[in-house]
Amino acid sequence: MSTYKAINLIKHNEGKVGPELFEVVEKTVPEPADGEFLIKQTYMSLDPAMMGWMTSDTDSYIPRVELGTVMRSSGIGEVVASNNADFAVGDQVMGMFGWQEMVLTDGAGVSKVDKALQPEMALSVFALPGLTATQGLYSCGHPEAGETLVVSGAAGSVGSIVGQLAKADGLRVIGVVGTDEKANWIVNDLGFDGAVNYKTDDLGAKLNELAPEGIDVYFENTGGPIQNAVFERMNAHGRIVVCGMIADYASANPSPGPNWMRIIKKRLSIQGFTMPDHMHKAQELRAKLAPYVQNGQVKYRAHVLEGLESAMNGLTLFLTGENKGKLMVKL
């Protein structure tokens, strides 16, 4: 009898993320019933949002992962057995497969992926990162050529795509990162106009230098001290897109936000968003993103960990900033 490995969440995240929150279990490989098919997962995505999914919070945009169940994640894999007329053995597919080597499904929420598309690119660009960047930038940020955009977490999977899309559309783009290596990458490889290292730069002085005429769009992925520095330099009718707050995900006492007086004075629009509200637009968003990719205007890099169990330590890379590019696990 064949078995496969899965990882269950057994403790909620209360400020510390590590292997102690998880349990590796073995399961019997199932046989697909009528209408079902079996997927062998090949790559598994790790995303900052997971740290929120693992808390005990029940008042959020997506249900928490319940204790004793497989940890939630998106992934890509190959159909290895099928009793579903729409999915054949050998198809490459993408969906919310969880931290497990095999997935039995009836096809709900699963989409086919062109086999010519490498899994690393599929997860780095056309999965959650690209969808999030495209939805947030255009539907919330409303960028216009000639404006100045600042994006935090600019070397991450979402931030790097946001910056490249904005640059391709004629904006001045400044990225906020945590290392000089990441600063060099977004400027020299991705074409950003400038970079701020929030760990070593004088934030206010660097923003004054790089954005002397102020900031029109801020794409927020991290929170932390940069938030106030950018907020104080927003132009009239500026837009702030709040996508993530990684600096506060492991904090018992999140830092307070800026004073709202400037929202009135500068007539700012601030919008929080999460992709589960917009997944019905996935095909439309991919269609908008595809020409930029085909024209070579969107590059990516993947940070690949090896083996299912590497995921249990992998999430800590988001908190230390040691990940370089889209974080994923190769199974």
Are 46 and 162 within one domain?
no
Low-confidence ranges of the chain (pLDDT < 50): none
Residue 295 lies in a domain: no
Q: Count structural domains, the chain.
A: 2
Residue found under tokens 């029940």: 58
- pLDDT recorded at residue 150: 98
- pLDDT recorded at residue 292: 97
Q: Give the range of the structural domain holding residue 64, as residue numbers without chain letter.
A: 3-116+301-330
- pLDDT recorded at residue 318: 85
Are 140 and 107 within one domain?
no
- pLDDT recorded at residue 17: 84
Provide the CATH number for the domain around residue 264.
3.40.50.720
Are 145 and 249 within one domain?
yes
pLDDT digits (tens, 9 = 90+) for 85-140: 999 999 999 999 999 999 999 999 899 999 999 999 999 999 999 999 999 999 99
- pLDDT recorded at residue 1: 56
Which residues fall within 8 angstroms of residue 325, CB to CB, at 6 or more apart?
124, 155, 156, 157, 160, 300, 301, 302, 303
- pLDDT recorded at residue 323: 83
Helix (H) / strand (E) containing 204: helix 203-210
Greatest C-alpha distance within the chain? 68
- pLDDT recorded at residue 170: 98
Provide the CATH number for the domain around residue 7.
3.90.180.10
* Neighbouring-strand partners of residue 215: 234
Are 78 and 40 within one domain?
yes
Q: In what order do the strands lie in the sheet with 69-70?
A: 22-28, 3-9, 69-70
Look up residue 232 and give its amino acid. Answer: E
**pTM recorded for the entire structure:** 0.90
pLDDT digits (tens, 9 = 90+) for 176-187: 999 999 999 999
